[in-house]
């Protein structure tokens, strides 16, 4: 039985109440760590919307939109020991607006778009034996891109997303989906199976993570069309799915509507939410490009499972980009690529942002007051 606790409220009412609660409880919500950010070696391509994971000590990134507007099959591995990106074999087919997860000695790329159409194909690359080679796992039942993907190390979930049906607009009121599909690595013959759908409005561009037996979803977006005007609607809603009971539960809303963000789990308690689009782009000077460009959200939010609250960390991202990808290994977070507002590079970047999680020392606050 599907259970979705807390009746839906208007976004404005929920956001106002959420901000009041956060302001009052910001000290309680502050995590006992900070994140120090630096720029790593540039990614070999200008990219957004690829798949990222950690595999065999390497950071693996595959696919994505490349400059100039190319749905790329390219894959690379970053070796932290030598600080270099190494080329891997191409995926069987280009993919953009896809997502990836690492489990054991394999990295999985789930769905996405190619040749202008969303796809259900899923690829796998294994760390051993070398040279790394790509293979396929069963395809999704509902082809989609811009979905949320997370895993508990056996069950992979693909949540929501956006589907392009030939003959229909790619970004329309009907294109986002609420379908949730699961794939068990211990039962691959079964293929992808359906779980209770995402509550509320269908949406894509989700930040997703797994912790303590639950899959978490933060924010996302969908479209509304009035006459000839299309609006992108971002949401602040957050919820979690418990696969064992197949129940969805409502969480405290994000402090702001947010889409296109990434998320990682730390210490099985904190979910760190990174980047994305929370409003209009702001102008910043990009030293690598040598010119002013538009960037998006650079605030790092931390959600605490135990208190159902959020805190904004003092340390902001070097680059606030949308449609980025994130992975974590121990106390290190990796962010690859992402979308800015720069037509000269097809809105793609080669940013490789590395965050080191450090304990908070006395007198050094972990978070800024929630505004």
Segment of 20-24, 60-64, 69-73 carrying the highest mean pLDDT: 60-64
- The H helix count followed by the E strand count for the chain is 1, 32
Q: Which domains does the chain have, with CATH numbers?
A: 11-358 (2.120.10.80)
Mean pLDDT of 22-51: 82
Q: What pLDDT is stored for residue 339 in this prediction?
A: 96
In angstroms and rounded to an integer, the radius of gyration of the C-alpha atoms of the chain is: 19
Residue 292 has pLDDT above 80, yes or no: yes
Q: What pLDDT is stored for residue 99 in this prediction?
A: 96
pLDDT digits (tens, 9 = 90+) for 213-259: 999 999 999 999 888 788 899 999 999 999 999 999 999 999 999 99
Q: How far apart are CA 24 and CA 352, in angstroms?
A: 35
**Residue 17 — pLDDT band, cuts 50, 70, 90?**
very low
**223, 266 contact by CB (below 8 A):** no
The 3-state secondary structure of 83-135 reads CEEEEECCCCCCCECCEEEEECCEEEEEEEEECCEEEEEEEEEECCCCCCCEE
Instruction: Determine how many CB atoms are found less than 10 A away from the CB of residue 293.
Output: 21
Q: What pLDDT is stored for residue 6 in this prediction?
A: 35
pLDDT digits (tens, 9 = 90+) for 85-114: 999 999 999 999 999 999 999 999 999 999
Q: What pLDDT is stored for residue 343 in this prediction?
A: 84
In sign, the C-alpha dihedral spanning 31, 36, 40, 43 is positive
Q: Which of 14-18, 93-97, 103-107, 351-355 has the lowest mean pLDDT?
A: 14-18
Q: What pLDDT is stored for residue 11 in this prediction?
A: 36
Chain centroid, CA 292 distance in Å: 26
Instruction: Determine how many CB atoms are found less than 10 A away from the CB of residue 265.
Output: 18
Instruction: Determine how many CB atoms are found less than 10 A away from the CB of residue 177.
Output: 23
Q: How far apart are CA 147 and CA 101, in angstroms?
A: 12
Mean pLDDT of 250-274: 98
**Residue 362 — pLDDT band, cuts 50, 70, 90?**
low
**Residue 7 — pLDDT band, cuts 50, 70, 90?**
very low
In sign, the C-alpha dihedral spanning 360, 219, 147, 318 is negative
Q: What pLDDT is stored for residue 126 in this prediction?
A: 92
Q: What pLDDT is stored for residue 325 in this prediction?
A: 97
**Residue 80 — pLDDT band, cuts 50, 70, 90?**
very high
């Amino acid at each position: 039985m599907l259970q979705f606790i807390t009746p839906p409220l208007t976004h404005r009412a929920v956001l106002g109440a959420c901000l009041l609660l956060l302001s009052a409880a910001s000290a309680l919500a502050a995590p006992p760590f900070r994140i120090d950010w630096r720029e790593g070696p540039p990614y070999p391509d200008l990219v957004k919307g690829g798949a990222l994971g950690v595999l065999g000590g390497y950071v693996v990134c595959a696919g994505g939109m490349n400059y100039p507007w190319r749905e790329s099959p390219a894959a690379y591995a970053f070796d932290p020991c030598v600080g270099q990106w190494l080329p891997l074999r191409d995926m069987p087919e280009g993919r953009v607006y896809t997502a990836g997860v690492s489990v054991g000695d394999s990295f999985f790329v789930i769905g996405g778009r190619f040749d202008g159409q969303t796809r259900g194909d899923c690829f796998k690359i294994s760390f051993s034996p070398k040279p790394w080679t790509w293979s396929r796992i069963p395809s999704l039942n509902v082809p989609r891109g811009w979905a949320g993907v997370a895993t508990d190390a056996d069950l992979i979930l693909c949540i929501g997303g956006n589907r392009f049906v030939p003959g229909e607009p790619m970004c329309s009121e009907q294109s986002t989906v609420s379908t949730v599909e699961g794939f068990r690595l211990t039962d691959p013959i079964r293929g992808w199976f359906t779980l209770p759908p995402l509550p509320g409005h269908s949406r894509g561009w989700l930040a997703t993570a797994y912790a303590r037996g639950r899959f978490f979803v933060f924010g996302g977006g969908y479209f509304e069309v009035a006459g000839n005007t299309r609006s992108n609607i971002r949401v602040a809603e957050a919820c979690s799915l418990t696969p064992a009971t197949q129940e969805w539960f409502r969480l405290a809303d994000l402090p702001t509507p947010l889409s296109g963000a990434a998320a990682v789990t730390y210490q099985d308690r904190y979910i760190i939410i990174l980047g994305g689009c929370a409003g209009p782009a702001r102008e910043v000077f990009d030293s690598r490009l040598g010119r002013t460009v538009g960037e998006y959200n650079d605030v790092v939010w931390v959600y605490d499972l135990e208190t159902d609250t959020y805190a904004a960390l003092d340390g902001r991202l070097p680059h606030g980009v949308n449609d980025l990808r994130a992975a974590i290994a121990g106390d290190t977070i990796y962010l690859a690529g992402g979308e800015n507002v720069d037509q000269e590079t097809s809105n793609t970047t080669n940013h490789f942002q590395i965050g080191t999680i450090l304990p908070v020392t006395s007198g050094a606050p972990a978070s800024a007051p929630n505004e």
